[in-house]
Amino acid sequence: FAPIVARTRQVAPSPTELDAHTLVLVRHGESTWNDLNIFTGWADADLNDKGKGEALAGGKLLKEGGYTFDVAYTSVLKRAIKTLWIILEEMDLMYIPIVNTWRLNERHYGGLQGLNKQETVDKHGKDQVLVWRRSYDIPPPECDESSEHYPGNDPRYANVDKADLPKTESLKLTEDRFMPVWENEIAPAIKSGKKVLIAAHGNTLRALVKHLDNISSETIAELNIPTGVPLVYELDDDLNVIPNENGIAPLRGAYLGDQEDIRARIGAVMAQTK
Ligand SMILES: O=C(O)[C@@H](CO)OP(=O)(O)O
């Protein structure tokens, strides 16, 4: 596949210049279902060639910026896992431990999984679909237990308590199931001095930055995260964000790369339902 050439300069501060904890977040590169504009959620859509190129470009930016990592966290979905693998290979860091957790999965899209986003707008109206996509605490309709999209039918979740497996999730429910792994594993790892990379999904990362940047439930509705772009946070010892002047509000961490291009890519995520 063709790497997307990084015509970019590094904008976040060099990690060596700051006495702080560096945390890097990256949403997976474009998937086949992103390209087809299909609600994905916990469906295991693969990266497409563009997505692989985005992941490679993200890895190059991190390498050029002098970043390094001690441990990486990702979901149990291949678009995030492969994004992580591509980045770690590019950075020559394939030896670091990778923790895969279902708690980092994309938000479960319930009965919308597998449906085309624009066709769903045509059927239910733009406002309703925007509520399902971006409201904080209103989940989409549930999928039923006979559905291929019900995680209870997927062997990869055999070890998860059925009561914890969603049939749909709002951003709030996504946050509720993600936060335990943040509080119990990731935050302690960062505090102990480990440099952490998280390769995850649009809505799990929205839940995380909502927490890191104290973003309100109203403001988070407006926030979209582009695919494959490293988002760098510097955190103090209590894991409060040290604001970066290049942060695109309400984020106080900064995306690595060409800021104009990144803003255009954020707009494209928003425009998936018109
Ligand atoms: O389909 C999905 O699972 C997500 C991420 O691709 O979409 P949206 O941005 O609409 O929440």
How many CA atoms lie within 13 Å of 120's alpha carbon, on the beta-carbon side?
A: 22
Q: Which letter does DSSP use for residue 257 in this model?
A: S
The pLDDT tens digits for 146-171 are 999 999 999 999 999 999 999 999 99
Q: Is 234 annotated as a binding residue?
A: no
Question: Where residue 15 falls among pLDDT bands split at 50, 70, 90?
Answer: very low
Q: Is 155 exposed, middle or buried (0-12, 13-18, 19+ CB in 10 A)?
A: exposed
Cα(129)–Cα(112) distance, integer angstroms: 10
149 belongs to an annotated ligand binding site: no
Return the half-sphere exposure (C-beta side, CA atoms, 13 A cut-off) of residue 21: 21
Ligand 1 atom nearest to CA at 39: 1
Domain ranges of the chain: 15-21+31-67+76-178+215-230+239-270
Ligand 1 pocket test, candidate residues 105, 107, 124, 130, most atoms within 8 A of CB:
107
To the nearest whole number, what is the mean pLDDT of the chain?
93
- The whole-number average pLDDT for the span 208-221 is 97
15-21+31-67+76-178+215-230+239-270 has which CATH code?
Answer: 3.40.50.1240
Q: Is the pLDDT of residue 213 over 70?
A: yes
Using pLDDT thresholds of 50, 70 and 90, give the confidence band for residue 13: low
Whether 40 is in the pocket of ligand 1, judged by its Cβ within 6 Å, is: yes
Tokens read off for 199: 């390769």
H-helix or E-strand spanning residue 232: strand 231-235
Residue 18 confidence (pLDDT)? 53
Average confidence (pLDDT) over 46-70 = 98
**Which residue's CA is minimally distant from atom 5 of ligand 1?**
202
Assess whether the C-beta atom of 269 lies below 6 angstroms from ligand 1.
Answer: yes
pLDDT number for residue 11: 55
**Whether pLDDT at 10 is above 60:** no
- CA gap 255, 245 in Å, rounded: 11
**196-200 vs 71-74, strand pairing mode:** parallel
Question: What's the longest Cα–Cα distance across the chain?
Answer: 54
33 annotated binding-site participant: yes
Prior bond of 250 cis (ω within 30°): yes
DSSP at 17: G
Q: Is the ipTM of this complex over 0.85?
A: yes
Is there a catalytic annotation at residue 28?
Answer: yes
**In this predicted model, what pLDDT tens digit does every residue of 73-120 receive, in sequence order?**
999 999 999 999 999 999 999 999 999 999 999 999 999 999 999 999
CA 96 – CA 244 distance, rounded (Å) = 27
